[in-house]
Structure 1
Amino acid sequence: MFVGKDYVVTLHEEVLPPIDHIFSQCQKTLHHRELYMGQGSVFLAYKMIDALVDNCFPVINELIITIEKVDRELEDKNTQTVLEEISITRRNIVFFQTMIKPILPLFEELEEGQHEPLSKNMGFYWSNINDHLKKIAHRLEDSRELIEGISESNESHIASKTNEVIKVLTIFSTVILPLNLVASIYGMNIVGLPLAQDKFSFLILLLTMLVISFIMLLIFKARQWF
């Protein structure tokens, strides 16, 4: 934005609804032209900036609603959706903060009257914008802390699920190991293996394997491994 004695120039890639609304009103009625332009270019710049800043609050409200939605989805264990929305919300908050933080010192200086003629008789107005920007910055910081907390909870949930899967696989592998050993030994062509010639050898070995598995599961249960 460029502000001169009798002009205000704004540069932006897309249409900004708050600014577009101001100029639309000025084109329609003399009353609005006097309201916005009757006190000089600096006041017009203030009104435009004020409209842009006020337009940030609905955006922040949407962010807060999104964070609450993510929190509910985390309770419902919808992990994949939570991961995507956490990533998007984090990015939006960081993007918002990178816009707000650099301009806070500028409006503090304008409020203190450090930039003439922008600050002449405008201290109260710049103070109003500065207060709004500080509120936005605080709400963004609160939102960032909330989404970080949700992210940590989600990571803990994922880690817990991973540990459960690993525990089940470990128990399964441990139970299978002695059974695999017995099967491997009796799969060798070695003369003299116990029960090798017995007609009930298969049933005896199968029963032995089942007993071994059952005993191991009892041991695991007694140790509260599952």
Structure 2
Amino acid sequence: MRQGAVPEVHLFSGSHGICRLRPKNGNGTSRTSQSHALYRLLDQLGDYLSPILNKVGGRLDAIETKLFEQPTRLTAYEISLVRRDIIALRRMLRPMLPVMAQLEGEEFPQLPQALDLYWGNVLDHLERAADILADYQEVIDGLAATSESLATQRTNEVVRALTIISTIMLPLAVVSGIYGMNIAGLPFADHPWAAVYAAALMIVVVGGMLALFKLRRWICRPFNDYLRT
């Protein structure tokens, strides 16, 4: 520092620009005022985390409600966005914890000992925010797994419905194919009510197959639900 210069402390506070401390006299800047200003800045930055965490928690609640009431394709995208935000917040917060723990637990000649309690206060805020983010990480991981499970279940139900339809149509296709070949000697081929008998046979086959599926619990709910799925 050049002779006669007035020392300054520059503290950056996000979008608010630079917080500059300048002593009223030219003898130097008070060490206590500098440290207290640093504490106030760090404490304010820690307080800024509270509304951010509340917003993330609200988004998690909205995703959980939407996931079980009216899931859409955008739900997975929203889960991905919230997970990205949580990871970014944890990445930002992780290196601050050991620094604040060192400020609280060790003595530095540049910092007055009277501020040890203040550093502990900031550390408590950061640790509480880190714990909340860890809980949010577990919640979003659970929601992602649940979303994948529900998507897999819906796919399985669609495949089951298509399989049931294909299985029912198979014997009907066999009966209609045999009687559609115009081969002589087929039972009831020349009977005037042959079409009625064939239709009755198909209905009996379909009813028997549905009863078998229901007995084996392959149809666990009304068939229309599978079509809606």
Normalising by structure 2, report the TM-score. Answer: 0.77
Q: Which residue of 1 aligns with 2:133?
A: 140
Preserved contact between residue 11 and residue 38 of structure 2 (Cα < 8 Å): no
SS in 1 for 2:94: helix
Q: Which residue of 1 aligns with 2:27?
A: none
For residues 110 and 183 of structure 1, the distance between their equivalents in structure 2, rounded to whole angstroms, comes to 86
Q: Report whether the alignment pairs 1:7 with 2:38.
A: no
Match for 1:113 among 98, 106, 112? 106
Q: Which residue of 1 aligns with 2:142?
A: 149
Amino acid at match of 1:222: L
Preserved contact between residue 109 and residue 115 of structure 1 (Cα < 8 Å): no
Preserved contact between residue 107 and residue 129 of structure 1 (Cα < 8 Å): yes
Cα deviation, residue 175, structure 1: 0.7
| Stretch of structure 1 that moved more, 213-222 or 112-121 | 112-121
Structure 1 residues 119, 221: CA separation in 2 closer, same or farther (over 3 Å shift)?
A: farther
Cα deviation, residue 81, structure 1: 4.2
Normalising by structure 1, report the TM-score. Answer: 0.78
Superposition RMSD on alpha carbons, in Å?
2.8
Amino acid at match of 1:219: L
Q: Which residue of 2 aligns with 1:200?
A: 193
Match for 1:187 among 164, 180, 183? 180
Amino acid at match of 2:12: T
Q: Report whether the alignment pairs 1:215 with 2:215.
A: no
Amino acid at match of 2:9: Y
For residues 135 and 150 of structure 2, the distance between their equivalents in structure 1, rounded to whole angstroms, comes to 23
Preserved contact between residue 6 and residue 41 of structure 1 (Cα < 8 Å): no
Percentage of matched positions with identical amino acids? 33
For residues 176 and 197 of structure 1, the distance between their equivalents in structure 2, rounded to whole angstroms, comes to 25
Cα deviation, residue 214, structure 1: 0.8
Cα deviation, residue 61, structure 1: 0.8
SS in 2 for 1:122: helix
Amino acid at match of 1:94: I
Cα deviation, residue 220, structure 1: 1.0
Preserved contact between residue 90 and residue 147 of structure 1 (Cα < 8 Å): yes
Identify unmatched segments of 5+ residues in structure 1.
31-36
Preserved contact between residue 79 and residue 154 of structure 1 (Cα < 8 Å): no
CA shift digits 1:165-189 (9 cap, x unpaired): 2222111111111111222223335
Identify unmatched segments of 5+ residues in structure 2.
1-6, 25-29, 220-229
Preserved contact between residue 111 and residue 119 of structure 1 (Cα < 8 Å): no
Cα deviation, residue 110, structure 1: 1.4
Match for 2:116 among 116, 123, 148? 123
